[in-house]
Amino acid sequence: MINNQDLNERSLYLLKTLVERYIHDGQPVGSRVLSKDPKLNLSPATIRNVMADLEDMGLIHSPHTSAGRVPTVSGYRLFVNSLLTVKPLESSELDQFQSSLLADTDEPGDVLGKASRLLSDVTKMAGVVTLPRRETVVLRHIEFLPMSNTRVLVIFVTDGQEVHNKIIHTDRLYSPAELQQAANYLNAVYAGRSLAKIRDLILKDMEGDRNKVNQGMIDAVNMAQLTFSQKPKDDYVLSGETNLMGFSELSDMERLKQLFEAFSQKRGVIHLLDQCLLVEGVQIFIGEESGYQAFDHCSLVTSSYSINDEVVGVLGVIGPTRMAYEKIIPFVDVTAKLLSAALNSK
């Protein structure tokens, strides 16, 4: 990868203005327009020489002979890493964002939806928020309700205002009283622990079963096992996808279709977002960097969010590679912090 040591000040400044210019008006930028930059103060010919160098280094390229230059992925990368001057948010905006996140709803877990909508509304691109990873999330309360036959509805509430519903099949018919008892037991023993931890405990408890006197406890642990054994498929809340249909760089129907299919498949996107869980702060994938073909012409700006200082999820913005990074980055950063704050159990 090329870093800013390899280039002199002038070339870097030229690249910077070129990228800014391109982001601003979407046209390939030629030597003439750049020569008008007061700080550059060079003739078009000189600028052409510099641009030729930048092109040799793979930072820019021209779509065709007479068309000015466009940043490549490496060009964007260098720009974002070293040249970007981020625009901090106004504090009034910040207040506004915060209040829109905290606005009351009657739907549990809707903060995530709100965050997603906030991301897409403000950026006019697509917003995405992963649901908190169940692994690290803490169990608050569990409840069993009998359904038909041996089917039992499990309801459990976790930190982060989330309610989960799941149907399990028990080995025999349980009475409502038995179910209640099992729930009581589990609430007493497991509440307040992370689901990963609980899964460990279940295993231990099941081994120790033979020694236990109380059949009710064994039943309870069995049910817990049924509930928590498989790793749940993670999920996310997406919004503003339709905004993406307005961008000319995504106007190719075939490509757009692939992108939307990736969105509804969820698998790939989740996998991509999961990579951001490990990283502190804002992370950016530009174009092909993501490794997912569907995202080839998109950029993804993400940040992780947490509940009670434990990182549990990722949020971000998806848009065309040509996006206003200097605004998007601080915005994603702030939104992640606001969401974390909103989810903290007070």
Shortest reach from residue 75's CB to its own copies, in Å:
28
| Three-state secondary structure call for residue 47 | helix
Question: Residue 68 — left, alpha, or beta (φ > 0 → left; ψ -120 to 50 → alpha)?
Answer: left
Which residue number, 46 or 180, has a Cβ lying nearer to its own copies?
180
Task: At 313, list the tokens.
Answer: 């999820």
Which residue number, 82 or 258, has a Cβ lying nearer to its own copies?
258
Shortest reach from residue 42's CB to DNA, in Å:
4
Give me the amino acid identity at 87: K
DSSP 69: B
Q: Which does 121 bind (CB under 5 to 8 A by kind): DNA, its own copies, none?
A: none
Which residue number, 38 or 85, has a Cβ lying nearer to DNA?
38
Which residue number, 40 or 145, has a Cβ lying nearer to its own copies?
145
Shortest reach from residue 254's CB to DNA, in Å:
18
Which residue number, 18 or 298, has a Cβ lying nearer to DNA?
18
Kindly tell me the sign of the dihedral angle through the C-alpha atoms of 185, 186, 192, 197.
positive
Q: Which does 178 bind (CB under 5 to 8 A by kind): DNA, its own copies, none?
A: none
Kindly tell me the sign of the dihedral angle through the C-alpha atoms of 74, 76, 81, 82.
positive
Residues found near DNA in the complex (CB under 7 A): 10, 27-33, 41-46, 48-49, 51-52, 55, 62, 64-69
Q: Which does 212 bind (CB under 5 to 8 A by kind): its own copies, DNA, none?
A: none
Shortest reach from residue 1's CB to DNA, in Å:
23
| Three-state secondary structure call for residue 339 | helix
Give me the amino acid identity at 249: E
Q: Which does 291 bind (CB under 5 to 8 A by kind): DNA, its own copies, none?
A: none
d(CA 72, CA 240): 26
d(CA 136, CA 195): 6
